[in-house]
Amino acid sequence: MPQREPVNRRVILAARPRGLPTPRDFRLDEAAIPTPGEGQVLLRTLYLSLDPYMRQVMDEIPPVYAPSVGLGEPMVGGTVSRVVASGHPQFRAGDLVLGNAGWQDYALSNGQDLVQLGEMARPSLALGVLGMPAFTAYVGLLEIGRPAPGETVVLAAATGAVGAVVGQLAKLEGARVVGIAGGADKCRHAVEELGFDVCLDRRDPRLAERLAVACPDGIDVYYENVGGPVFDAVLPLLNIGARVPVVGLIAHYNDETLPPGPNRLPLLMTAVLQKRIRMQGLVILDHYADRYDAFRRDMGAWVADGRVKLREDLVDGLENAPAAFIGLLEGRNFGKLVVRVADA
C-alpha cells in the first residue's frame, strides 16, 4: 500500500496466532498522523527491528515478561526514528533517536523511552550490533556465562542477531566456540566471517553425535536461545559447573501443546543437580539502567575496531514486515532482520 500523506500506516494485530503466525493475523490500516502535545514528540519511523520475542507478546501472556499486544493495536518493536515535531524540551525536530514506535510510520512518545543517537552513517546498526540483540548477548554471556580462556562455549542460531555476537564475544574472552546454525551457508559464515572454531548444521540428523565430537572436553557455557532438539543434544555434554544463560526458546514459541515424547524434566533436573549447573533466565529490559552505558562504550569500540561484526538482513517497506517476521520464526533470515520503513 503506497504512502499517502498525511496518513499513518500501522500493522496491527488482527488475530492471536494458532501456532506459526500467518498473514491473516496482521492487518495494514491507516490512521491520522497524531499531533504531539506538551511534553511529547512526534516520531517518524525510519527502521523497525524484528525480533523473536514479538511472537510471545502476540499471545495473551502474564505481564511478567512484556505486555501483550491488544487486538486491534499496532505490533510493538524497537525503532530508529526521526523527531518530526517536539513539545519536549530535550528533543528537537530532526533528532535521530532510538525508541519503541512499533510497526507504524508515526508514533508519539513522552521521551522516557528515547535515546539520542546523534548522526550515524548507518542508523539501523542501533537495532542490531549496537542495539538490543547485542546488548542481550553482552549481558547474557559476560554476566551469566562468564567464559574463561580455553573453555568451550556452544550456541545455537549462530548467525542470528544475538548468536553471532555471543560467539564473537566468547572468542574475545579466549574461549573455544562451537556454533549451531541452519544450513551450510550460515555455518560457513560463522567460521569464515565470524571466527567460530566449528559450526554444525542443526538440520543434520546426526547433530547430537557431531556435537559430541566437536566438544571432546564437554561444554562449559551453553547460550540458550533456541531450545528443542538442540538443547537435547547439549544437555548430556554439559560439564560440572556449566553455565546456561536462557534468553529465548524460539523452537517453542509457536507450540500450542507440550512437545511429544517422554517427560524430560526429571532428566534436566537430575543434570542440574549432579553437575551443579547454573541456569539463569535473562530479560534484557532489566539491565538498561545499570549496564547499557558500559555496553555502548565497549561494543562501540569493538565494532569500530572490526572485532565484532553482524550481518544485516534488510527488508524494504512496512507492508512487508509480517512476511519477514514469519520468515524470522522459520529461520529464513540471515543476520539481524531490519525493516527499512523510510529513507534516513
Residue found by looking up cell 500500500 in the block:
1
Q: Which amino acid makes up residue 150?
A: G
pLDDT > 60? residue 4: no
Above 90 in pLDDT, residue 91? yes
87/34 Cα distance (integer angstroms): 13
Domain 8-128+310-340 has CATH 3.90.180.10: yes
pLDDT range class, residue 14, cuts 50, 70, 90: very high
Mean pLDDT of 181-185: 93
* Start-end of H helices in the chain: 53-57, 132-139, 163-172, 184-192, 207-214, 228-234, 265-274, 288-304, 321-329
Domain spanning 132-284: CATH superfamily: NAD(P)-binding Rossmann-like Domain (3.40.50.720)
The pLDDT value given to residue 43:
97
**End-to-end CA gap in the chain:** 20
Specify the DSSP class assigned to residue 61: -
Mean pLDDT over the full length of the chain: 92
Supply 221's cell numbers: 557455557
Q: Under a CB-based contact definition with an 8 Å cutoff, are residues 341 and 48 in contact?
A: yes
pLDDT at 226: 81
Higher pLDDT, 124 or 343: 124
Which residue do the cell numbers 528537537 mark? 92
Structure-model confidence comparison of residues 228 and 212, the more confident one: 212
pLDDT tens by residue, 288-324: 889 999 999 999 999 999 999 999 999 999 999 999 9
What is the rounded CA–CA span in Å between residue 150 and residue 254? 37
pLDDT for the residue numbered 256: 67
Q: What is the pTM of this model?
A: 0.87
Q: Would you say residue 1 has pLDDT above 60?
A: no
Q: For the chain, which residues make up each domain, given as ranges?
A: 8-128+310-340, 132-284
Residues 6+ apart with CB under 8 A from 26: 11, 12, 13, 14, 75, 321, 322
Q: Give the single-character DSSP code of 145.
A: I
- Which pLDDT does position 95 carry in this prediction? 96
pLDDT tens per residue, range 17-73: 998 999 999 999 999 999 999 999 999 999 999 999 999 899 987 766 678 999 999
Model pLDDT, residue 205: 92
Residue 2 clears pLDDT 60, i.e. is over it: no
pLDDT tens, position by position, 246-277: 997 765 566 667 677 777 788 889 888 999 99
**Residue with C-alpha cell 520503513?**
341
